[in-house]
Structure 1
Amino acid sequence: MGAEADLASAPAPHLVTEVPGPRARELIERDLRVTSPSLPRAYPLVPARGSGVVLEDVDGNRFLDMNAGIAVTSTGHCHPAVVEAIRRQAGQLLHYSGSDFHLPIYGELCERLAGIVPLRGPARAFLTNSGTEAVEAALKLARYATGRQYVIAFLGAFHGRSYGSISLTASKVRYREGFGPLLPGVFHVPYGDTSEIRERLFRRLVAPREVAAVVVEPVQGEGGYVVPPEGFLRELRALCDEHGILLVADEVQSGMGRTGRMWAVEHWGVEPDILLAGKGIASGMPLGAMVARADLMTWEPGAHGSTYGGNPVACAAALATIDLVERELAANAREVGGLLLEG
């Protein structure tokens, strides 16, 4: 704890070598020999430890971390409350499958999530290892619950890189190049304008009664951190209601207090049918969640599951994270975000 506190209060940024330093260069050279070249590795950063917003590399260089492990360390690095929750749970039970057995902490987190998502009516949750897996679960549930096959997504969207999620992703061509054919039945339209759906898709390409879901990031992430035009999400909700289409809010990146509210859709008063969480949900532990209206979850036992999803240690980290976000961090995001927007 002392070393962590010392790092959190240490001057940063503070460089003691060139970047990357000698130890970092050794490790980078090894990685380039033995890891998959598909990993983007955009920066020559080799982190060794972190505390709060300070990250220290293997050569002792310190940085202010504006990356947060790709929008994951929502409570900062090694927040004491999260670390303590992980330690406590790890000392009791590292793993048992929540898919096949009744884990108290799995149910506790599902109950907590069901109580804080802005869905219409009672909700149920399915826990995964990542946001991408939550997207996959939502695709399956949407098709199963509606009996429809088509899905609408948006240009600029990022929903993951597995086969189902990459079929929704439309932020960079390199994510899709060479992997076709992708999931059939997915249509992409420009973000921020429902008229494209009404005028182009529904008149020329697909009947609305055959569309299972519209999947949308309330604020686009990798597509450029695009805040939607005022009224867009409410119009999208109305369009879905008109045609019995499920509205899926992918809050993997925009959720967990990042926009000053627990969920970005709350800024516009929109209630989706399914909400997806990931990244910052557990402060760095691998976890995702699909939370849906309870009446949609009519699928049979075995229709979907996950050996590791909802791992007890990750669930403990998530419960501690939610406490921190609700108690102080969402408000801090509102305050600091407002200052940044003012310039």
Structure 2
Amino acid sequence: MSRLLTSTLRGLPRIAKPIYTVPGRSFISSSTTTSSSSAAFAQEQQSSDDMPVAVKTAAQWAEFGRDHVCHGLGRLRDHVIVKGSGLDLYTAEGKKLLDFTAGIGVTNLGHCHPHVSRAAAEQVNNLVHLQCSISFHAPYLQLIDRLLPAMPHESLDQFFFWNSGSEAIEAAIKVARQATGRQNMIVFSGAYHGRTMGSGALTRSKPIYTQGTGPLMPGVFSSAFPYWHQLGVSPSTSEEELVRLAEHQLDLILRQQVNPKDVAAIFIEPVQGEGGYVPVPPAFLRHLRDVCDKHGILLVIDEVQSGFFRTGSYFAIEQLTPELRPDILVFAKGVANGFPISGIASNKELMGKLDVGSMGGTYSGNAVACAAGIASQEVYQSGEIGQNVAERSKQLYAVLNGLAESSKTKHLIAQVRGMGLMASIEFRNTSDPLTLEGIPEGTAVPKNIGKRVQEYCLNKDLIILTTSCFDTIRFIPALTVNEEEIDRAMKIFTEAVENVAREG
């Protein structure tokens, strides 16, 4: 950490918080917190090589960011964050924020988990980078060794690491096309697979991610996801009927728009992320496997956000369809707790069809990120993370379901859904009649409920996110969240929802 940021941390108390253990190892988080002022942040410093560092207040740095950071990058607030510990973030002004975003599902083990950070620091002193096309390096191989027993199907035994979820999707596209000799892809309404030209072409959650940048990658067909919004039916529609309708739409795609023999792969998220935190019905996943087997199409499971115990198991499909065989599994986010690494796993037959040299990338499988990934798997594989997700998710859903049933707030809420600590609450919207099911005609429903609730929470120092084109708030805290932190967050959230209900 530069001396500029270190200056904000001096003379402050230390926090000791138990996290989780791996047999033979104790994971106690001991981290320095910050309560410094912006004046301390502005204190003149020298960098490690004695080059002068700019002297600015926190407000000036925020203004600097607004001036020089790409306009296309949005933010909830213009805070300058200088420290993270567990679920806490600290700003340059000394404000402490309760983070229920985990870097959008990345820091699954909390900010700066000591075991992961220690492993990365040790690796920095051994080998920072070795380009993957030059030679093997130990952390790359050791991470594979750690991931192999965690794969949701034993056939997934060859890996390629990249840096981000979008890049991993690009890798899956390349494997699918090269292995099948076909070009076309099928995705689902509400899907989010990335923002690059290939992955962005697969994304169907919001137009903002690719608008004005076309033409995107051709050959992509979109079918209906088994979610009531996507099918234009009421929220109370049975899962069986949702599956039937979605199967029918997929059948029409294959009969009217693209011949199955020209389809390389079907991509699906077992829990849609940007689509609204919507789990896929298990019967629909089984249907996709049957369709793919019938027509020689590859089934690509995108667990970029739902993987690494986010839903309570290593991968969401283990709960939804334990027997399911993905042809390609895509993962990222939680794999290394904040260090940039992503990957795909497939079988030797498919990977063996790739031309040598066709895969690669300057930072692919970076040694430090791999070391962080190994340490993260050690914590995941202790078994205590999954147990904590089960306990804390019950606590979280109890509050959300309580709001949906409360006489004070039920007229605001269309649905509570999710899996594990990938939870969401969708609010009613007068411009969307489907969401008004179950309330008396003429009931006054406020506008912009989600944004107003989020704003209230942000003003109370709780960071939460919206998601999808529907009025939905998602909860995605670190998987190390404790009972008190859930209680604190849910108290603020309940106040926010009740406040909107009173104001109307």
State the identity %.
Answer: 42
Q: 2:378 aligns with which of 323, 334, 341?
A: 323
Q: Shift in Å at residue 23 of structure 1?
A: 4.3
Question: Residues of 2 paired with 1:289 and 1:140: CA distance?
Answer: 13
Question: Residues of 1 paired with 2:311 and 2:275: CA distance?
Answer: 16
Give, as a single letter, the amino acid of the residue that structure 2 aligns with 1:40. G
The CA deviation string for residues 110-167 of structure 1, in whole angstroms up to 9 with x for no partner, is 2322331113525100000111111000000001001111100111111111110000
Q: Is residue 331–residue 344 contact of structure 2 (8 Å, CA) maintained in 1?
A: yes
The SS at the match of 1:5 is strand
The CA deviation string for residues 42-93 of structure 1, in whole angstroms up to 9 with x for no partner, is 3233211011111111111001110111211111011110011011111111
Aligned residues: 336
Question: Residues of 2 paired with 1:41 and 1:24: CA distance?
Answer: 16
Residue of structure 2 in register with 1:332 after alignment: 388
Q: 2:267 aligns with which of 212, 215, 219?
A: 215
Alignment of 1:197 onto 2:250 = yes
Q: Which stretch of the first structure deviates more once superposed, 35-44 or 273-282?
A: 35-44
The CA deviation string for residues 306-341 of structure 1, in whole angstroms up to 9 with x for no partner, is 121111100010011111122121221122112222
Residue of structure 1 in register with 2:294 after alignment: 242
Residue of structure 1 in register with 2:95 after alignment: 61
Q: 2:277 aligns with which of 225, 236, 247?
A: 225
Give, as a single letter, the amino acid of the residue that structure 1 aligns with 2:391. E
1:253-332 to structure 2, matched below 5 A, reads: 253-268=305-320, 269=322, 270-298=324-352, 299-327=354-382, 328-332=384-388
Structure 1 unaligned residues grouped into runs of 5+: none
Question: Residues of 1 paired with 2:36 and 2:128: CA distance?
Answer: 38
Give, as a single letter, the amino acid of the residue that structure 1 aligns with 2:361. S
Residue of structure 2 in register with 1:118 after alignment: 152
The CA deviation string for residues 182-214 of structure 1, in whole angstroms up to 9 with x for no partner, is 00000111112232111x211101111111100
Q: Is residue 155–residue 346 contact of structure 2 (8 Å, CA) maintained in 1?
A: no
Q: Per chain length, whose mean CA-contact separation is higher, i.e. which structure has more relative contact order (CA < 8 Å, sep 6+)?
A: 1
Structure 2 unaligned residues grouped into runs of 5+: 1-8, 18-28, 39-55, 227-245, 400-504
Question: Residues of 1 paired with 2:118 and 2:13: CA distance?
Answer: 15
Question: Residues of 1 paired with 2:30 and 2:124: CA distance?
Answer: 28
Q: Is residue 113–residue 291 contact of structure 1 (8 Å, CA) maintained in 2?
A: no
Change (3 A) 1:342 1:33: same
Question: Residues of 1 paired with 2:97 and 2:264: CA distance?
Answer: 45
Change (3 A) 1:189 1:39: same
Alignment of 1:28 onto 2:62 = yes
Give structure 1 regions of 4+ aligned residues with deviation exceeding 3 angstroms.
Answer: 1-4, 6-10, 14-17
Q: Is residue 165–residue 333 contact of structure 2 (8 Å, CA) maintained in 1?
A: yes
Change (3 A) 1:95 1:158: same
Give, as a single letter, the amino acid of the residue that structure 2 aligns with 1:293. N
The SS at the match of 1:63 is strand
Q: TM-score if structure 2 supplies the norm length?
A: 0.63
Question: Residues of 1 paired with 2:386 and 2:203: CA distance?
Answer: 28
Q: TM-score if structure 1 supplies the norm length?
A: 0.92
Give, as a single letter, the amino acid of the residue that structure 2 aligns with 1:317. A
Alignment of 1:144 onto 2:178 = yes
The SS at the match of 1:194 is helix
